[in-house]
């Protein structure tokens, strides 16, 4: 899977010159461009091996570099993912700090679908209970994500956005010896942006 995703990242950066050329022809269709915005976001995260998903909250910022290209940064708090195997229970909490490169398709002033690719640093907190260990621990893990979304401008200074991201996060090791746990998963996010 990683071999497939690396060419997608490279291809996304090679398409930047083509997108900047397309910006000049689509600038009349984009309601939001050449600006920076901030706002809250809510989401739902479900890891592949987790017993259940959970809601989370955070903040996001977006820098719009014309009608087609954008950069997003976010900080969130995700709590309560529980994993059980071999009589051991592990609860994880994440504080992800992520960055994404965004490619908008400004279909109209009120409708802008986008694709995104990005990386993240995930501060991970482990709470373990069971026969193997009852210790708590924390560490930084690094991952990446790919996704699709939709931005719906309300006016030139505000927009709603919703997207789906698949997060790839599989720690190589941790001191709790939960090497079989797969933290990769599906992330659904909605946000409200206020552009300056």
Query: Is the model's pLDDT at 175 over the cut of 50?
Result: no
pLDDT computed for residue 43 by the predictor: 95
DSSP E strand boundaries for the chain: 35-47, 54-65, 69-85, 88-104, 112-129, 136-155, 158-168, 185-195
Spatial contact of 168 and 147, defined as CB atoms under 8 Å apart: no
CA 48 to chain CA centroid, nearest Å: 16
With beta carbons less than 8 A apart as the criterion, state whether 19 and 30 touch: no
Structural domains in the chain (count): 1
The whole-number pLDDT of residue 108 equals 87
- Cα–Cα dist 103/100, whole Å: 10
pLDDT tens profile 11-51 = 444 444 434 444 444 455 677 888 999 999 999 988 877 77
Give the tens place of pLDDT for each residue, 46-93: 887 777 888 999 999 999 998 899 999 999 998 877 777 767 777 888
Greater confidence, 172 or 150?
A: 150
Range of the domain at 139: 2-195
Instruction: Indicate which CATH number applies to the domain containing 76.
Output: 2.40.160.20
pLDDT band at 181 (very low <50, low <70, confident <90, very high): low
Tell me the per-residue pLDDT of 93-149, one tens digit each, with 9 for 90 and over: 889 999 999 999 988 888 899 999 999 998 988 887 766 666 778 888 899 999 999
Specify the pLDDT at position 171: 64
**Dihedrals phi, psi of 175, to nearest 5 degrees:** -70, -15
Q: Which of 92, 95, 113 is nearest to 104 (CA)?
A: 113
Cα(69)–Cα(184) distance, integer angstroms: 27
Question: Would the pTM of this model clear 0.85, i.e. be above it?
Answer: no
Higher-pLDDT residue of 88 and 159 is 159
- Beta-strand relationship, 185-195 and 35-47: antiparallel
């Amino acid at each position: 899977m990683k071999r497939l995703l690396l060419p997608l990242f490279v291809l996304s950066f090679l398409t930047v010159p083509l997108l900047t050329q397309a910006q000049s022809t689509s600038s009349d269709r984009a309601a939001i461009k050449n600006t920076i915005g901030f706002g809250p976001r809510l989401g739902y995260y479900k890891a592949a091996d987790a017993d259940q998903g959970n809601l989370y909250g955070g903040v996001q910022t977006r820098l719009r570099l014309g009608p087609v290209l954008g950069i997003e940064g976010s900080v969130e708090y995700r709590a309560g993912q529980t994993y059980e195997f071999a009589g051991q229970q592990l609860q994880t909490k994440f504080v992800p700090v992520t960055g994404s490169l965004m490619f908008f398709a400004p279909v109209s002033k009120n409708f802008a679908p986008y694709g995104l690719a990005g990386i993240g640093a995930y501060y991970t907190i482990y709470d373990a209970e069971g026969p193997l260990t009852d210790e708590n621990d924390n560490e930084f893990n690094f991952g990446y994500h790919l996704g699709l979304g939709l931005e719906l401008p309300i006016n030139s200074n505000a927009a709603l956005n919703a997207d789906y991201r698949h997060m790839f996060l599989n720690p190589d090791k941790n001191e709790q010896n939960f090497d079989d746990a797969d933290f990769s998963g599906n992330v659904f996010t909605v946000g409200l942006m206020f552009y300056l």
